[in-house]
């Protein structure tokens, strides 16, 4: 089955620890994204990558880091510098063919930092 996988679904960490969230896709999409969603708020873009070995900061990149060494994988590290890391993290990938554009989301990871 083609799709995007994120693991784990629920993740608990102590304050001060770095944590890496995984995102894998087998859709052969070039572009991948990380979003964060907080209760009552829309999705906010953390980082995105349009091609392997390249990525750009989104609107709220501070305290996060990413890598894109493979087309299929776009892991997100939440560092101890992120002030409010508890949130629902969503990974997505996309493709555009002419006027057709589609973006698919993974099932998300709920991170709780205490």
CA 36 – CA 40 distance, rounded (Å): 12
Closest CA to 32 of 48, 9, 46: 48
In the complex with other proteins, the residue whose CB is nearer, 25 or 94, is: 94
* C-beta separation of 89 from 111 below 8 A: yes
Question: Looking at beta carbons only, is 20 or 50 nearer to other proteins?
Answer: 50
Q: What letters, b where the CB count within 10 A reaches 16 and e where it falls short, cover 31-54? A: ebbbbbeeeeeeeebbbbbeeeee
> In the complex with other proteins, which residue's Cβ is closer, 13 or 44?
44
Residue with Cβ nearer other proteins (57 or 70) = 57
Position among 2, 16, 42, 98 found at the interface with other proteins (CB under 8 A):
42
Q: Please, which of residues 52-111 interact with other proteins by CB under 8 A?
A: 56, 58, 88, 90, 94, 96, 101-108
* CB of residue 62 to other proteins, shortest distance in Å: 17
How far apart CA 93 and CA 80 sit, in angstroms, is: 26
Binding stretches for other proteins (CB under 8 A) = 31, 33, 35, 40-45, 48, 50, 56, 58, 88, 90, 94, 96, 101-108
């Amino acid at each position: 089955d083609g799709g995007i996988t994120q693991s784990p679904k629920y993740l608990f960490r102590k304050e001060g620890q770095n944590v890496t969230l995984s995102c894998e896709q087998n859709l052969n999409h070039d572009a991948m994204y990380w979003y964060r969603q907080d209760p009552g708020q829309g999705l906010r873009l953390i980082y995105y990558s349009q091609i392997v070995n390249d990525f750009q900061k989104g609107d709220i990149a501070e305290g996060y880091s990413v890598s894109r060494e493979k087309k299929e994988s776009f892991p997100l590290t939440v560092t101890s510098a992120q002030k409010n890391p508890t949130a629902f993290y969503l990974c997505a990938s996309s493709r555009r063919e002419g006027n057709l554009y589609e973006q698919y989301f993974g099932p998300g990871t709920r991170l709780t930092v205490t």
